[in-house]
Amino acid sequence: MTAVSSKPARVPVEERLFSLVLALLATDVGLMKNEILSTVHGYSQRYTAGGSNANLERQFERDKEDIRELGVPLETIDSPSDPGNNQLKRYRIPRGRYELPEDITFTPEESTLLTLAARVWREGSLSAESRRALIKLRSLGAAATEPVIGFAPRVRLGDAAFEPLTDAIDQGVSVRFDYLKPGEQAARERSVVPLALVNYEGRWHLSSRELDSGIPKMFLLRRIVGQVTLGRPVSMPPGGHAAEAMARLDAVAAEQVADVEVSPGSDAALRLAHRTTTEQIGPDRLRLRFIDRAILADELSGFGPEVLVLSPPELRDDVRERLERTAAAHG
């Protein structure tokens, strides 16, 4: 006889967020946290009446940030009798501020394309962003009325660590993985609290804190080797992690610059000049801001003779070493 698990089935993130948006749209006076956790689909299945719901409360704090990132005007209303008491605060989404203006509508074809685009993004494992897009469309009533006939192209993400790290952030658990830094011969094990995944200059980074010390750490996903192992539940500070991570990366890029000379009309000139952080400093000369010198050296060496590194000398040496290694490998 097969035992039946009493553990509630996991509700997909997009369903939970969608249910939360609908619940907060449906109330004028707002809902208290306890009312949300005990009644809204996605929380209520795991809610324990009279017990500890600390994990659910942390989940709700992260979900609030997610729907705010959608552009949803989530309001917090203090209790008149006890201002500042988080348990008595009420949350609501004012319908008038959230609905589309009357002069903006979607045709069935446009709705189909928008939904398909979000589905392609989701199928490519970039699930968090596609979930947000689908939730936004559905909550605005812009669901496709026509089935998509044919196929939905699949966009594959090269970083295998992305999906387990996303799961860890959703579940509020620590992670363990091996990380190989440039110049090191062997990977080292890292145990961290994952806070946010951000895409910077086309590459995914993990913003985290060391599990034991709490020191902020940033990891490039392409340098995570092997499997990501999910650990124990941890306390995650609420909100703003993605914005903080982007600010940290911007600060690093502002301090690390490289001057290069590019061949006029070349592929290198076209690609490097159109970056948002690139500065034109002279005829066929560009100033590049970068996060990781090893990655920039890989990229610049791929352009071959189309790029000449002027500074810093360390980057010039890195590019020359890669070109010499390539030449040696091809006889």
pLDDT at 212 over 70: yes
Where residue 27 falls among pLDDT bands split at 50, 70, 90?
Answer: confident
What is the C-alpha to C-alpha distance for residues 176 and 224, in angstroms, rounded to an integer?
10
Question: Over the stretch 244-281, which tens digit does the pLDDT of each residue have?
Answer: 888 999 999 999 999 999 999 888 888 898 887 889 99
Q: Do residues 114 and 106 make contact, with C-beta atoms less than 8 angstroms apart?
A: yes
- Give the domain ranges of the chain: 13-98, 108-139, 162-241, 256-329
Specify the pTM: 0.54
pLDDT at site 206: 94
More confident residue, 128 or 99: 99
How high is the pLDDT of residue 4? 47
Determine the CATH number of domain 162-241. 2.30.30.520
Are the C-beta atoms of residues 65 and 240 closer than 8 Å to each other? yes
Q: Give the pLDDT confidence of 30-70 residue by residue, as tens digits.
A: 888 888 898 888 888 888 887 888 888 888 888 888 777 76
HSE-CB of 63 using CA atoms within 13 angstroms: 26
* pLDDT bucket at 200, cuts 50 / 70 / 90: confident
Which pLDDT band, with edges at 50, 70 and 90, does 197 fall under?
confident
Backbone angles phi, psi at 204, to 5 degrees: -90, 135
As a whole-number percent, the residues of the chain with pLDDT over 90 amount to 31
Strand order in the sheet with 203-210: 216-220, 203-210, 188-200, 173-179, 224-233
Q: Please, are residues 225 and 186 in contact by the beta-carbon 8 Å criterion?
A: no
Beta-bridge partner residues of 176: 191, 229
Q: Return the amino acid letter for 201.
A: E
Question: Where is pLDDT greater, at 180 or 14?
Answer: 180
CB 125 within 8 A of CB 157: yes
Counting DSSP H helices and E strands in the chain, the numbers are 11, 12
For the chain, the C-alpha Rg in angstroms (whole number) is: 24
